[in-house]
Structure 1
Amino acid sequence: MTGLSSSPAAEQGPSRPGLGPRAAAVLVFGASAAVLVVEIVALRLLAPYLGLTLETSTMVIGIALTAIALGSWLGGRIADQVDPLRLLGPALGISGVVVALTPAVLRSTAEWAPALLILVAALTVLVPGALLSAVTPLVTKVCLTSLADTGTVVGRLSGIGTVGSIVGTVLTGFVLLSRLPVSGILMGLGALLVIASVPVSRRMRGRNGAPAALALALAAGGLAASVAPGGCDVETRYHCAQVVADPARDGGHTLVLDGVRHSYVDVDDPTHLEFTYVKAVASVADAAYPGNQPLTAHHLGGGGLTVPRYLAATRPGTRSVVSEIDGGVVRIDRERFGLAPGTGVDVRTEDGRLGLKRLGTGSLDLVVGDAFGGVSVPWHLTTVEALTEVRRVLAADGLYVANLIDHGDMSFAKAELATVGEVFEHVALLGEPTDVGLARSEEPVGGNVVVVASDRTVDLRAIQRALDARRTGWTIATGDALTSWTGGAPVLIDDHAPVDQLLQPHASPGRR
């Protein structure tokens, strides 16, 4: 019988260097953690180009699992044919170089060859993921010197690898992404992997390629930091954020999150509204509550706080509470857009739906929905249950106004209108005539539409006059026309809300 032996004398030949249990544990733990760090950070790196959608997350997770399976299988097969100690160093070093290169490669591909982005993204996750996943079977082969210990060794290393994956996940999600830019995380991880390959490579027979690999990794880091396009002004917990100055307006700035224009803010004139959908929201508030009396409002999603600033400027005494989940965006509001205490705008770093639960019943005049993850409304804010919470916090004559983005046949917008209609007595939709079903001879353009809902009758003529005064080109669909346009669209509930699938994934998002 060849291979493993139960005889202690046959456990290890004199020419083969050993690998102590601590070193084995560190290698398996670190490699497993690194795979999860790469997977999670890849989602953030791709969000500006593919959107932060369920499909993007599913794709990255699927590729990472494929890499783990492929690396484990190939690593085990190769370990039976080649001395594993000759492979561990190169596996760590090469994966480190690829990881360090990933920001530069992905951002350059997105800029200059977007058609290849998915393929390149798959390779940047698959290659290091497979190499790092091969570490566990390679180390296992080195540590297995007796059949009597097979279960103990395999079980111990499998458990250590799982713990490493957990630590990599928690560390990335709760610590790294909130404190370091995406490029910095990958460059640092790549350098650590290459450095770790140095002592392992010394066990190779007379060879050590680690210094050259380390130099390449450091060069890759410099390239990612200084050459690659698509850099962020700020890496927040959820977004790659940029603030772009408007050359045509001194105080004008656009807040860009993951490549999507989320807000336009004029720090000198909060009554200046740039995006058409914001003009529509302001038109609804102005028409539904004439006289500039102060309001109590809650905003689901903050961004640049354009609407809360407008209400504070045009309706002195208005109190706006904002639920903005991203503390980094709130910091931008304070540091770049001049948000200060005493302005009537109270921003809370919290999830919008959880924020609603803290509000008193019938306490609000207005709820504004403008929360987005990527280009879609977070699904848990679109359902009957969520809208029931909105209705609960509104006064009897209160108003719900929500911004939506959709394209193509507007499947998501139709489903959301059907859902809103399940909760509120009166519903209307504002948008381009082609997008709200009032110009059937033309294909929908897609983009932003605004939902208006209430249990009281709203003066739609006054809203239309306000829209026309701002030259939006938008119109209002309601009644039978809106019912016909919505058709048999599904009602979204917590148990089934396929928002990402209803949205058209290939459309180009925008704020108009």
Structure 2
Amino acid sequence: MNDEVAQQVVPRTRYHALFVVAILTGSFLLFLVQPMVARMALPRLGGAPAVWNSAMLVYQALLLGGYAYAHWLGRVPVRMQAGIHLAVLAVAAMWLPIGLTAMELPADAEPAFWVPWLFGASIGPLFFAISAQAPLLQRWYSVASGGRDPYALYAASNVGSFGGLIAYPLLVEPGLALRGQSLLWTIGYALVFLLVAGCATLLPRRVGGEPHVAHHSPAPGAGRVLHWVLLAFVPSGLMLATTTFLTTDIVAMPMLWVLPLGLYLLSFSFAFREGEALPAALTRIAPVLLLMFGSVLIAGDQQLAYVNALIGLLLLFLVAVALHSCMYRLRPAPDRLTGFYLAMSVGGALGGVFSGLIAPIVFDWTYEYPLLILAAGMLMPQAFLFDPIARLWRGSAQLLRIKTLAATLAIAVPLYLGLFNPGGLLGPMHEQVAFVGIAAIGLFSVGRRIPYLVALAGGLFLFGGYRAIETSLSGDRTRSYFGVYTVTDMPRERRLAHGTTLHGIQLKGARSRLPTTYYVPGSGVGQAMLAAPQLYGPAARIGVVGLGTGTLACYARPGQHWRFYEIDPAMVDLSRDSGKFSFLRQCAPQAEIIVGDARLRLAQTLPASLDLLALDAFSSDAVPMHLMTTEAFTTYARVLAPDGLLLVHISNRFLALSPVVAAAAARGGWHAARLVYTPSAPEKRDEAAISDWIALSRDPATLARLTGGQWQPLTPQRSFTPWTDDYASVVPVMRALNPSLADD
């Protein structure tokens, strides 16, 4: 750099903090807007996963666009870059305050088309402008500092992203209604504009080597770019695969999706930092822990559900740190920075598309998880654990091939014994004993890629992999965007599991018409269904939100009119079309089934067209929040007759939902009573389950005719704020965060 340019370089104490704050603030806003806008869209588009998946595609497309725009800006001088970007920020400000556009959507709006259109029109320019911040400001930082390495600032970007992600469910959503959230984001956007303008003033008037189209470092080859893409692809895909795996096969816990994404973002802060000691240490142990626990996790042992969840999160973090650290070590010179980040965003987007959109269509189980575990083992750096092991692997190329082949073939022995256990040689715990042998060979092979991968694949196949393949080949499992459904035939009953959560039971033979689990005659909904003929006559009009196995259909009586609302077409196939379960076919073959989001479909239903409506849409403890707002209860009141009954199922391991329903009832003028049903001693546990139901009616006389005995009046909590389309938070009703709700 010549003297004139050197004199224009700003002292570090001035520029460093400003660039860090600007990058952090922009990333904070970027991850704050994602859940905010999705929350705004719920009442208008429903809660189908297609909505969330389409929204994810919009975010990734806009992020790619922002990174490509930052890369393109590298063609012009930095002062001109600053002017162009400030102009883009100013134009995007025309979309403030942030919110959904007022377009009218068709009644049968297809999420795959309308969600990208609605989100793009609502936040597209703002998201695009903010998404370019991290790579663009890092490039400016390098110029303003006289060529200092800017990559460490990416850690600040991901700290900001993590902060925005965690702040929304824990602070912003519980504390502010949507209008307040929109105002907060607008203020943040104005702050970002000022910070970017401040960074622009620190750029030198002239930089040696301009125009910036002249790169000083050699261009990376196609192989290096592909390597970057793959190193970004696997952690991104594994993040979504871990979320899916944990919530369908380990434990269905609300807000669990925040943890994998948060750890994924934090991994960049560990990997893109000055000083390699910590990421190097984590990278060194990653292959070991991947081998020891990656295969154990897919076994899905429900007795250790929370331990397995922690293991899954730990593996995700270590894999992400290892691969992102490898990417950091392969980073180009600062003048190639924006192209590097563009390749990274391409890999991240492809990983998201693979796990979020392609895998649920192609696979009938969460096969993407073990596949990505294998890909991680293939890509992550490896080193021999101890010097004696390294010496054993030394020798000529031919000798190394012989040793590699021997280690690979040796894995077949414990794998065979673990799978088939001939003559009971390994005893009742043959899988665990065989895994010890596989793991020992794998640990000995860390540092030699091929035998290590064979050992990793052997463990995955032994623990759960072969059983998953057997079930897939039997045709007893199906998958949709809502989860994995497995049908299990037993001598006296047939079961449906959603992931590893029991979803329904149908008895066989003469008892096949009997309602089971949460819907037995003594439960709240069972009592309501049995009382329907006395309350509404022989032609009662009954609606059910959530089809499941169709168990409630066996309360149907001749002359009644039944209607089911089901969001997942896969459930319609299981309960009616494929013949897996026969409740519908035996008890209510003429029942109408309406596929789609229940709230949207009920909004299209004629007023006073139902006498009884059962709300049972909760899937594996996940709460469809938009079905529990006061506006949703207004929809239910419109659809029900003036003396109609609403039954709400609130059984949940993680959330105490009675305050939500009580608050909505008080605001909507409902009268409410609650029944927590516990099966009596003669009832088998696998046929009847503890259930928690709330009955509501705007006619107190109707409610009084149903309730009594075990039913208890439901009173609202004065301190609880009702859920609305503008404000709702699960934090106040989470049992883990509110010990007083543990027994509610």
Shorter-chain TM-score above 0.5? yes
What secondary structure does 1:504 align onto? coil
Query: Which of 590, 596, 613 is the equivalent residue of 1:367?
Result: 613
The corresponding residue for 1:180 is 363
SS of the equivalent of 1:263 reads strand
| Conservation of the 8 A alpha-carbon contact between 1:100 and 1:188 | no
Q: CA deviation at 1:20?
A: 4.4
Match of 2:528 among 270, 284, 301: 284
The alignment covers a number of residue pairs equal to 445
- 1:27-426 matches, cutoff 5 A: 27-48=227-248, 51-73=251-273, 77=276, 104-108=295-299, 110-111=301-302, 113-114=304-305, 116-140=307-331, 143-144=332-333, 150-151=334-335, 153-193=336-376, 209-226=448-465, 234=477, 236=479, 237-245=481-489, 247=491, 250=492, 252-266=493-507, 269=511, 271-275=513-517, 277-279=519-521, 280-290=524-534, 293-307=538-552, 309-312=553-556, 314-323=557-566, 325-333=567-575, 334-335=577-578, 336-338=580-582, 343-406=589-652, 411-426=656-671
Contact 2:299–2:463 under 8 Å retained in 1: no
* Aligned 8 A contact 2:251 2:305 in 1: no
Quick one: which amino acid aligns to residue 272 of structure 1? L
Residue 112 and residue 413 in structure 1: after superposition, are their counterparts in 2 closer, same or farther (change >3 A)?
Answer: closer
Larger radius of gyration: 2
- In structure 2, stretches of 5+ residues that fail to align are 2-146, 150-207, 382-396, 401-446, 679-688, 740-744
CA deviation vs aligned residue, 1:405-443 (integer Å, no higher than 9, x gap): 2569x843123222123224322222259xxxxxxxxxx
User: What amino acid does structure 2 have at the position aligned with 1:318?
Assistant: H
Q: Deviations over 1:469-489 (max 9, x none)?
A: xxxxx71123xxx33x74543
Q: Tell whether the 8 Å contact from 1:94 to 1:194 is kept in structure 2 after alignment.
A: no
Q: Distance in 2 between matches of 1:101 and 1:362?
A: 59
The match for 1:431 is 676
Q: Distance in 1 between matches of 2:285 and 2:220?
A: 23
Q: Check the 8 A contact 1:284/1:463 in 2, yes or no.
A: yes
Amino acid corresponding to residue 170 of structure 1 in structure 2: V
The RMSD of aligned alpha carbons is 4.3
Which structure features the higher share of strand residues?
Answer: 1
Amino acid aligned to 2:615: G
- Alpha-carbon distance in structure 2 between the residues aligned to 1:373 and 1:97: 36
For residues 185 and 105 of structure 1, what CA distance do their matches in structure 2 show? 16
Q: Which one of the candidate residues 703, 711, 725 is aligned to 1:476? A: 711
1:503 to 734, 741, 744: 734
Q: Separation in 2 of the partners of 1:184 and 1:244?
A: 20
The more displaced of 222-231 and 451-460 is 222-231
The answer for the alignment partner of 2:412 in structure 1 is none
The alpha-carbon deviation at position 374 of structure 1 amounts to 2.5
Does structure 1 retain, via aligned residues, the 8 Å contact 2:612–2:644?
Answer: yes
- What is the Cα deviation at residue 277 of structure 1? 4.6
Question: Could you say which residue in structure 2 is the equivalent of 1:147?
Answer: none
2: CA distance, partners of 1:41 / 1:348: 30
Q: Is the Cα–Cα contact under 8 Å of residues 255 and 263 in structure 1 kept in the other structure? A: yes
> Alpha carbons of 1:183 and 1:375: their partners in 2 closer, same or farther (altered >3 Å)?
closer
Shift of 1:95: 7.0
Tell whether the 8 Å contact from 1:95 to 1:132 is kept in structure 2 after alignment. no
Shift of 1:382: 0.9
User: SS in structure 1 opposite 2:330?
Assistant: helix
Worse-matched range after superposition: 124-133 or 262-271? 262-271
**Deviations along 1:208-249, whole A, 9 cap, x unmatched?**
8332233223323322444789989535232243334465xx
Q: 1:304, CA displacement in angstroms?
A: 1.1
Q: Contact between 1:260 and 1:375, CA under 8 Å: does it hold in 2?
A: no
Residue identity in the other structure for 1:327: P
Sequence identity (%):
17
Taking a change above 3 Å as real, the CA distance of residues 411 and 3 of structure 1, as seen in their structure-2 partners, is: closer
Structure 2 SS opposite 1:133: helix
The whole-number CA distance in structure 1 between the counterparts of 2:528 and 2:636 is 17
Partner residue, 1:493: 724
Letter in 2 for 1:27: H
Q: CA deviation at 1:453?
A: 1.6
Name the CA distance, whole Å, in 2 between partners of 1:100 and 1:356.
Answer: 50
Report the CA distance between 1:296 and its aligned residue: 3.2
2:457 is matched by which residue type in structure 1?
Answer: L
TM-score (norm 2): 0.52
Displacement after TM superposition at 1:132 (Å): 1.9
Whole-angstrom CA distance in 1 between matches of 2:228 and 2:600:
39
Residue deviations 1:340-380 (CA, integer Å, cap 9, x gap): 59812333442222222332333222221001133243211
Q: In structure 2, the residue corresponding to 1:160 is in which secondary structure?
A: helix
Distance of 2:291 and 2:732 partners within structure 1:
33
Deviations 1:230-280 (A, max 9, x none): 989535232243334465xx4x33323233333233466564122355432
For residues 574 and 291 of structure 2, the distance between their equivalents in structure 1, rounded to whole angstroms, comes to 28
Q: 1:227 to 1:363 in 2, by over 3 A?
A: same
Write the distance in 1 (CA, Å) between the matches of 2:697 and 2:302: 44
CA distances 1:125-161 after superposition (whole Å, capped 9, x unpaired): 1111111222332221xx43xxxxx23x110110221
CA distance in 2, matches of 1:464, 1:400: 13
> For residues 265 and 36 of structure 1, do their structure 2 counterparts lie closer, same or farther at Cα, with a shift above 3 Å needed?
same
Instruction: Supply the distance in 2 between the matched residues of 1:243 and 1:270 (Cα, whole angstroms).
Output: 16
Q: 1:449 to 1:72 in 2, by over 3 A?
A: same
SS at match of 1:218: helix
Query: 1:108–1:229: 8 Å Cα contact kept in structure 2?
Result: no
- CA, structure 1 residues 245+219, in 2 after alignment: closer, same or farther (shift >3 Å)? closer
Q: Distance in 2 between matches of 1:100 and 1:328?
A: 35
Partner of 2:424: none
CA–CA separation in structure 2 for the residues paired with 1:115 and 1:407 = 13
**TM-score normalized by structure 1?**
0.73
Query: Structure 1 37/97 Cα, relative in aligned 2: closer, same or farther at 3 Å?
Result: farther
Matched residue of 1:54: which SS? coil
